[in-house]
Structure 1
C-alpha cells in the first residue's frame, strides 16, 4: 500500500492509464482542480444566495462578515470550487433574474467557455497562442536601463532583429524613448527619427516579421503602422494621447494596454494601492471595454500589468504571483519584467544586482507567467527564454 500526489498536468494521463471510461475522463477532470474566483461589487443579497448555492453544490464561497446582515449594499466575494461546482452554480442562478445575478451568470459562462485566444494583425495574419510567444526588445535609445538592448544604428537594429528572429522571437518590439523610472520624455520628432527608420528597414529586410512599436504618441503610432508596423505597445493604455484609439481603430491594428500611473518621471511616487492585483485588473479591463465599445474585440487587445511602473517590489511580486487575474479573461496577456529592478532587488544580498546579472531571475518570472497562462513574454534575451518555454511546455504537455 502506498500513496502519492498527482500533478494537475498529469491528471488526464493517469486517468487514461487507469482505464477510466473515456467519456468519464472529461467529467472527472472538471472535478480535479479547485480554482478560486473573485467576483467584485456583488449586491449583498446576491452574495448570500451565491454562498448558499455554492455550499449546496459542494463548493464554498468566502464573504465578508457584513454580508449576512446586508449591512453594506455591495461586497466582493471569493468562490471556491471546481468546474463542476461552477456549472451547477450557473444552472441554479439562471433561475434567479434579480439582484444583478444575470451579469454574474454571464461572467461565469464566459469563464467556463475558455475560448482559445489569438491576435489578428491588420493584414489579416493571426498570431495563435498554442505556445507562449516571445517578444524581443530592441531599443533605439541611448539611455535604456539595460545597455545590452541599446542599438545606435539601423545596421545594428537589423543585426539584432535577425538574431532574435533566428532564436525564435515571434514579435520584435521597437522603442524610441526610455520609460525607466525617473526618465525624461524625448521630443516627438526625436522619437520619430529613432523609430520610423528602424521599423521601415526591419519590414523591408524581414517582411514576414511582426513588429510592435512601443509608443504612447498617436501620430508616431500612425506613421509607424504606415511604415509596416503591426502592433502598438502603449504604456499609457491610451491615456497619454486621446487620438490613439482612433489610430488603432482606423488601422485595425492590435494594441497592448499597459497599467501605470503618472509618467515615467513621477510614477514611483504613486504606488499606493489597497489591492494592487484587483486595481490593476479593473483598470485594464475598463480600458479594454472602451475599445470594445468601438467594436474592437479581444483579438485586437493585449493586456500588460505594467511590472515596474508605479509599483514597488512587493506589488510587482504580487502581480507576478496573481497573473491569473488577467489571464482568466478573454484577452491575451503580456508579461514584461525582463531584467527589471525588482529582480535585481530580490536577488541582491546587500545591494541590488545590476541589469547584466538578472537573467536567471527573468527566466523564473517567465516560468511563472507560463504557468499562469500568459500568452506573450517581452524579453531582452530571446534564445534563453524561448528554450525555457519550450522545455516547460514539453513537460506540461507530455
Structure 2
C-alpha cells in the first residue's frame, strides 16, 4: 500500500495525515500572509507552526503562479532561500525542510544548506537536471502533475494520473529511490508546461481554460481532482499530497469575491474533504486551523464505505487512545 518518506517523515498508510507548512520568502507570492522577509520572521513563523504540530516546512523563494509576473533570477532565488533554510535548521535541527523550486541549482544549494525534500511543481519536467540533483543528494521529492503540452479529450483525472506516471518514471530512471517519491495532483490552475509563462517568458495567463482543455474550466478541473484523490492514490500506488490552501478556485466555489485573506474557511473545508477522499498530506499556509480540520477528517474517513460495526470499533479506539 502507498507509503513513502519525505526526509525523515513517513507519509501514507499507517501514518497520520502530514501537515506541510508554507513559508514564502518571495514578496510576490499570491497570499501575502505567507511572506516572511527576514530570517527572524521565518523563525517566528516556524515556531508557531511547530507548536501547532507541523511535520514539514516548505520554503519558497519564487512564486510560480501562472497568472502573475513573478520571475526572478536564479541567484536572487538562492539568496532568498538559503539563509532561511540555514536559520531553520539552526533552530530546529530535526525539522524536515522542503525547498519549493523548479530550478536544479536552487535545489542543490538548498539541499547543501540542509533541506531534505525538493518540491518541484513541474513534476521534474521543467529542467532535466532536477531529477539528477534529487538522486545525487538522496533527497525526497514531491512531483506535481503537469502535462507537457495541452491535450483535448479525456477527463482531468486520467490526464493527472498520466502526467504523474511520467514524473515517477523520470525520477526512477534518474536514480531517485522509489520510497522517496510523493505525488501532488496539482490543484491550483497549473497550465501545461508549454503554456506556462514562468517557463516560456510569456504574459500571465487569464481566463477559465488555462489548463489547456476547452471542456474543463480550471475551477471545475480542481474540484474534480479533489473528489478523485482515492482513484489517483490507488492507480499510482503512491502517497498523495494536496495543496489547496487559499487558492483561487475556492473563490469560484464560494461564489463571491474573496481575496486570499478571506479564503481560510473554504481552505480548511476543502482540505478536510481531500483527506476524507484519501489525501496523505496537506500543504497549508494555516497549520493550526488545518490541523484540526485534518484530524477530524482523518477519523471520519475510517467510516467511508465501511460497515458501521467496523467504523464504530475504529472510532472508539482512536478517540479513547488519542492515537492519531
TM-score w.r.t. the length of structure 2 is: 0.80
Cα offset for 1:302? Answer: 1.0
Q: Does 1:327 align with 2:233?
A: yes
- Residues 295 and 218 (structure 1), Cα distance of their counterparts in 2 relative to 1, 3 Å cut: closer
Matched ranges for 1:196-207 at <5 A: 196-207=82-93
- For residues 217-245 of structure 1, the C-alpha deviation after alignment (integer angstroms, 9 at most, x for no partner) is 10111111111001000011112211111
- For residues 162-212 of structure 1, the C-alpha deviation after alignment (integer angstroms, 9 at most, x for no partner) is 111111110100000111122331110110111110011101110010100
- For residues 98-136 of structure 1, the C-alpha deviation after alignment (integer angstroms, 9 at most, x for no partner) is xxxxxxxxxxxxxxxxx2513153xxx342441100100
Matched ranges for 1:22-101 at <5 A: none
Cα offset for 1:334? Answer: 0.8
SS of residue in 2 equivalent to 1:211: strand
- Residues 126 and 385 (structure 1), Cα distance of their counterparts in 2 relative to 1, 3 Å cut: closer
Matched ranges for 1:296-311 at <5 A: 296-308=176-188, 309-310=190-191, 311=211
Q: Does 1:242 align with 2:147?
A: no
- Structure 2 regions of 5+ residues with no counterpart? 192-210, 212-217, 303-313, 316-324
Distance 1:378 1:144 in 2: 15
Cα offset for 1:271? Answer: 8.2
**2:52, 2:287 within 8 Å by CA — same for their partners in 1?**
yes
Paired position in structure 1 for 2:31: 146
- Residues 273 and 307 (structure 1), Cα distance of their counterparts in 2 relative to 1, 3 Å cut: farther
Residue in structure 1 matching 2:21, options 109, 128, 136: 136
SS of residue in 2 equivalent to 1:360: helix
Q: Does 1:172 align with 2:57?
A: yes
Q: Does 1:383 align with 2:288?
A: yes
Distance 1:193 1:296 in 2: 27
Equivalent pairs counted in the alignment come to 273
- Residues 126 and 217 (structure 1), Cα distance of their counterparts in 2 relative to 1, 3 Å cut: same
Q: Does 1:157 align with 2:63?
A: no
- For residues 1-39 of structure 1, the C-alpha deviation after alignment (integer angstroms, 9 at most, x for no partner) is xxxxxxxxxxxxxxxxxxxxxxxxxxxxxxxxxxxxxxx
Distance 1:341 1:372 in 2: 21
Paired position in structure 2 for 1:370: 275
Distance 1:360 1:182 in 2: 23
Higher relative contact order (CA 8 A, sep 6+): 2
Paired position in structure 1 for 2:307: none
TM-score w.r.t. the length of structure 1 is: 0.65
**2:26, 2:80 within 8 Å by CA — same for their partners in 1?**
yes
SS of residue in 2 equivalent to 1:257: strand
**2:185, 2:225 within 8 Å by CA — same for their partners in 1?**
yes
Cα offset for 1:261? Answer: 4.9
Distance 1:288 1:219 in 2: 21
Paired position in structure 2 for 1:66: none
Structure 1 stretches of 4+ moved >4 Å: 270-273
- For residues 269-310 of structure 1, the C-alpha deviation after alignment (integer angstroms, 9 at most, x for no partner) is x58553111011111112102222345343211111111212
Distance 1:339 1:273 in 2: 29
Distance 1:277 1:336 in 2: 16
Matched ranges for 1:220-235 at <5 A: 220-235=106-121
- For residues 74-104 of structure 1, the C-alpha deviation after alignment (integer angstroms, 9 at most, x for no partner) is xxxxxxxxxxxxxxxxxxxxxxxxxxxxxxx
**Which of the two has higher C-alpha Rg?**
1
- Structure 1 regions of 5+ residues with no counterpart? 1-114
